[in-house]
């Protein structure tokens, strides 16, 4: 085989991207369903059964692919913009904003995706996709923690990202400025909690005794 020729995996990846984008357009109207998948496949003139070969698990397979691709592209964008030179709060703000602004797609399609993932039997997939997104954000932000902070950081960011995503879905302000203001407030709240925790960690039992004695 010619070394310059694309492999089957590369061809499949490119085709999945095209099909995914077409499905997302259909999903804004018909949800993330096999109906949307079939309509998207027809719009691309794919051979019968090709959509099932590419996404054998149906709509949930497509959603997983969409989310993982968005995470990957977010990391690439953050690295290209050199966020490691920023303060940690600015890195996280950039990560959340880029993930929503550039890679969340059409709001209605995103809303329907959340509705499907919110179903009880899809909870494991929803949790896995959220964790991967948050982990990718911290990775791009340069986090190297391996202790308990590894988990607390991800839990905290999961709450910030999830609430901002829900706010963004209903935001009709120009340029989604209301969403970015909301995100800023959420990050401010987290930073205040972290400062309080730092003060509590540095507090020693004798400090209270000495403070009381000076009164």
34-91: per-residue pLDDT in tens? 999 999 999 999 999 999 999 999 999 999 999 999 999 999 999 999 999 999 899 9
Q: What does the pLDDT read at residue 147?
A: 80
Confidence of residue 215 (pLDDT cuts 50, 70, 90): low
Number of other CB atoms surrounding residue 37 within 10 Å: 25
- Residue pair 132/67 in contact (Cβ under 8 Å)? The answer is yes
180-208: per-residue pLDDT in tens? 999 999 998 887 755 555 565 566 555 55
d(CA 62, CA 19): 9
80-98: per-residue pLDDT in tens? 999 999 998 999 999 999 9
Confidence of residue 213 (pLDDT cuts 50, 70, 90): low
d(CA 52, CA 161): 32
Q: What does the pLDDT read at residue 1?
A: 47
Q: What does the pLDDT read at residue 143?
A: 87
Domains of the chain, first to last: 1-56 (no CATH), 66-214 (1.10.357.10)
User: Is the pLDDT assigned to residue 17 strictly greater than 90?
Assistant: yes
Mean pLDDT computed over every residue of the chain: 89
Q: What does the pLDDT read at residue 190?
A: 81
d(CA 137, CA 135): 5
Cα separations (Å) of 40 from 34, 96, 107? 10, 29, 18
For the whole model, what pTM was predicted? Answer: 0.85
């Amino acid at each position: 085989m010619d070394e310059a020729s694309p492999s089957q995996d590369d061809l499949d990846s490119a085709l999945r991207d095209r099909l995914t984008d077409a499905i997302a357009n259909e999903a804004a109207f018909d949800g993330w369903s096999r109906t949307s998948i079939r309509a998207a496949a027809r719009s691309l003139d794919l051979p019968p059964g090709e959509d099932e070969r590419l996404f054998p698990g149906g709509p949930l397979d497509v959603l997983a692919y969409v989310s993982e691709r968005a995470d990957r592209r977010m990391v690439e964008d953050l690295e290209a913009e050199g966020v490691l030179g920023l303060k940690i709060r600015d890195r996280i703000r950039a990560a959340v904003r880029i993930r929503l602004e550039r890679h969340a797609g059409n709001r209605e399609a995103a809303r329907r995706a959340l509705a499907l993932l919110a179903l009880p039997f899809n909870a494991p997939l929803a949790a896995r996709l959220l964790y991967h997104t948050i982990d990718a954000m911290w990775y791009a932000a340069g986090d190297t923690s391996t202790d308990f902070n590894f988990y607390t950081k991800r839990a905290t960011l999961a709450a910030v990202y999830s609430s901002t995503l829900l706010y963004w879905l209903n935001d009709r302000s120009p340029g989604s400025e209301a969403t970015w203001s909301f995100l800023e407030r959420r990050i401010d709240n987290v930073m205040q909690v972290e400062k309080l925790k730092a003060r509590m960690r540095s507090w020693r039992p004798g400090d209270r005794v000495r403070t009381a004695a000076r009164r």
